[in-house]
Chains A and B, each alone.
Chain A
Amino acid sequence: MSDLELNCPLLLQYDRIVMAHGGGGRLMQQLLDNLIQPAFSNPLLNQKHDSAVFDINGVRLAFTTDSYVVKPLFFPGGDIGKLAVCGTLNDLAMSGAKPLYLTCALIIEEGFPMTDLQRILQSMQRTAKEAGVLIVTGDTKVVDKGKGDGVFINTAGIGLIDAGVESNPRHIQAGDSIILNSDLGRHGIAVMLEREGLNFAHEIESDCADLSGLVEDLLASGIEIHCMRDLTRGGLAAALIELAATARQHIEIREAMLPVNSNVKSACEILGFDPVYIANEGAFIAFVPEEQTEQTLSVLRRHPLGRQASRIGQVKAAHPRGTVTLENVMGVSRVLDLFSGEQLPRIC
């Protein structure tokens, strides 16, 4: 346990958890790398993928878990229940798995309206049914008023990986095309506008969606998928930076190629956010061999969740630590860095 003693630089820097430790930026990465990963270190965890992937009796399985603490619980385009099912389905799908079973653990605050709970559960059931998965076990706890925030949900999921499917950050290689299925930033902005009560002329809906069907189409097409990753907390930037570091590659994306809905773009301009850092719940990237770019795009575009699919960049070459550069509209490249802490709205 020497890794966890007080000589850990992370512990010296902060003696308490701050919100930014969960914000998807650099502090969260440090918490994972310096405290959580070392605490449990083992080969499966160290794969650093969305799910742990392992064989049991010759059957290849993916296993994952995620907790949902979104505020507000109901937002344009979804609710915490839909999110809790889709998020875990997507984590399984990113490992190339076909989701089979989910769990549902609820932590409910005293005084929470029963009708809201019912709405959330119905939303979970509907989403699971549409995805063809069953919620097979769960747990329910109630905490004192003021000790929770309405309701927190944890789901875990298990899925089956077919032979020959190998979606893993370590398979990313120079020359790979990076394909994005959708536009960026809708979930994060929709939730933020709802939470802060900011009214824009046009409502922005979360992109919250189950990607497993789209991924299944992709897998069935025979395309050699090197890696997939959904773009949740920290957005496209956090996903690319982590993958570049794990794969030790230089990834380059082109800003002009990034699809961003014009309402999201306007909201980002006003709030001082960069859409590459905003969370999505229905967006993912796939790394495929350059020569299969067009085939990948055409498979994705046949599915409602992939209509806007586009190639946003390329893996350039091996790099000792891994790096991500963004070529801006002026044709100048800059390093894409994890943001520090949480993205905070600017002063002016």
Chain B
Amino acid sequence: MKYLQEYRDPVTAKKLVAAIKAAATRPWKIMEVCGGQTHSALKYGIDQLLDGAIELIHGPGCPVCVTPIEYIDKALAIAQVPGVIFCSFGDMLRVPGSASDLLGLKAQGADIRIVYSPLDALTLAQQNPDRQVVFFGVGFETTAPATALAAYQARQLNLENFTLLVCHVRVPPVIEALLNSPSNKVQGFLGAGHVCSIMGYHEYLPLSLRYRIPIVITGFEPVDLLQGLYMTVQQLEEGRFEVENEYSRVVKEQGNLPAQALLNKVFDTVDRSWRGLGPIAGSGLALNADHDDWNAEQRFPVAGIATQESPLCRSGDVLQGLIKPTQCPEFGVRCTPDKPLGATMVSSEGACAAYFHYRIHPHV
């Protein structure tokens, strides 16, 4: 709570806003990678406080948003199998698949439960030996260790009625993909603080050097965001391109080594398709062969599911920072949080949902 007061202090925030405005000689385009940062920026009105001095570009760091529709459809298929208890984090329940969402299935009688940790799902499996319990593991490196721990424990316990549908993703490859894109306009990054608390920030050093771009690992409170932006602007103005750590109260260069060891023990790095962005090499984590018996994709027949994205949804452009959510013609018209066309309108971290929630929406 001490941190909350200090890092939401309006006086400190206003000093930083003034410092950014004084330092920025042009409206640098800076991407906050993580959806939690996007929401914080809009909730606290950071973009309004900055008043165009720099441009915030909202990145692809919303785990719900980028989970490919193929995996949502696999989740929907598994959740409908009789006898299955399907466990998921809360925000996945409303993400639209090709034909439905998990909440809709729940209304039709599927046993779908919100859990706070993959280990809760593991406990459910132990308590219900006659049921198949499946955990839907999505998210970045932040949530991956908890999924890994559940898989690891399931293997240790030789728990036969527990499997995981794993679709974890990694941040560095998507940053590289954005930088390689011909339409890229990002000039600096706020790195995702929570991801780096697990992984450290050494992975970002070669990226920063190769693409000559500042990356500042940043937290989530308004003062964090402004401090991170100020550090990025200083680098840009001085022509530096370094990895700096604004979030040093949480993030260490090497990260959480036991968590990383666990990830290595349970997962392989794989190519993964991102919703709205397409396939990115080496950007996914999947259960390795040692954990085949706990892999829901092995236990349930979900290969070859045909998917159908909404042709109207421009979440890919939003996730790449090419358009602001309000520039999508369907924003607030055919696409609302109640009936989203794409996942960016669903999640508590999605950029479209953030604009809908925190801004007066022009169409509605």
| Per-position 1/0 for A308-342, Cβ under 8 A of B | 00000000000000000000111111110101110
User: Which of B99-107, B181-189, B229-237, B257-265 is near enough to bind chain A?
Assistant: B99-107
User: Could you tell me the distance between the alpha carbons of A328 and B194 in the complex, rounded to whole angstroms?
Assistant: 24
Judge whether B1 and A262 touch: CB under 8 Å: yes
Judge whether A26 and B338 touch: CB under 8 Å: yes
Judge whether A265 and B1 touch: CB under 8 Å: yes
Contact of B116 among A19, A26, A196, A331 (CB under 8 A): A196
Q: How far is the CB of B191 from chain A (nearest CB, A)?
A: 15
Judge whether B103 and A341 touch: CB under 8 Å: yes
Judge whether A16 and B356 touch: CB under 8 Å: no
Provided the pairs A26-B338, A198-B116, A344-B114 are in contact, do residues A18 and B106 lie with their beta carbons within 8 angstroms? yes
Interface check B92, CB cutoff 8 A: yes
Judge whether A347 and B91 touch: CB under 8 Å: yes
Judge whether A329 and B103 touch: CB under 8 Å: no
Interface check B339, CB cutoff 8 A: yes
User: What are the residues of chain B within 8 A of A330 when measuring CB–CB?
Assistant: 10, 13-14, 44-46, 49, 222
Q: How far is the CB of A337 from chain B (nearest CB, A)?
A: 6
Output the nearest chain A residue to B138 by Cβ-Cβ distance: A347
User: What are the residues of chain A within 8 A of B356 when measuring CB–CB?
Assistant: 337
User: Could you tell me the distance between the alpha carbons of A41 and B63 in the complex, rounded to whole angstroms?
Assistant: 44
User: Could you tell me the distance between the alpha carbons of A18 and B339 in the complex, rounded to whole angstroms?
Assistant: 13
User: Could you tell me the distance between the alpha carbons of A337 and B42 in the complex, rounded to whole angstroms?
Assistant: 14
User: What are the residues of chain B within 8 A of A198 when measuring CB–CB?
Assistant: 116
Provided the pairs A13-B339, A340-B336 are in contact, do residues A19 and B103 lie with their beta carbons within 8 angstroms? yes
Judge whether B93 and A347 touch: CB under 8 Å: no
Secondary structure of the B side of the interface?
Answer: helix
Interface check A345, CB cutoff 8 A: yes
Contact of A19 among B45, B107, B357 (CB under 8 A): B107
Judge whether A340 and B45 touch: CB under 8 Å: no
The residues in B between 213 and 263 inclusive whose CB is less than 8 angstroms from any CB of A are 222
Interface check A138, CB cutoff 8 A: no
Interface check B163, CB cutoff 8 A: no
Interface check A27, CB cutoff 8 A: yes
Contact of A347 among B14, B108, B143, B339 (CB under 8 A): B143
Judge whether B222 and A347 touch: CB under 8 Å: no
Interface check A30, CB cutoff 8 A: yes
Judge whether B8 and A347 touch: CB under 8 Å: no
Judge whether B116 and A345 touch: CB under 8 Å: yes
Provided the pairs A16-B108, A337-B357 are in contact, do residues A347 and B103 lie with their beta carbons within 8 angstroms? no
User: What are the residues of chain A within 8 A of B32 when measuring CB–CB?
Assistant: none
Q: Which residues of A contact B (CB under 8 A)?
A: 13-14, 16-20, 26-27, 30, 196, 198, 262, 265-266, 269, 272, 328-335, 337, 339-341, 344-348
Q: Which residues of B contact A (CB under 8 A)?
A: 1, 4, 8, 10, 13-14, 36, 42-46, 48-49, 63-64, 89-94, 103-104, 106-108, 114, 116, 138-140, 142-143, 194, 222, 336-339, 347-349, 353, 356-360
Q: What would 6 more interface pairs be, CB under 8 Å, given A346-B89, A348-B139? A: A18-B104, A26-B338, A332-B45, A337-B357, A345-B89, A347-B64
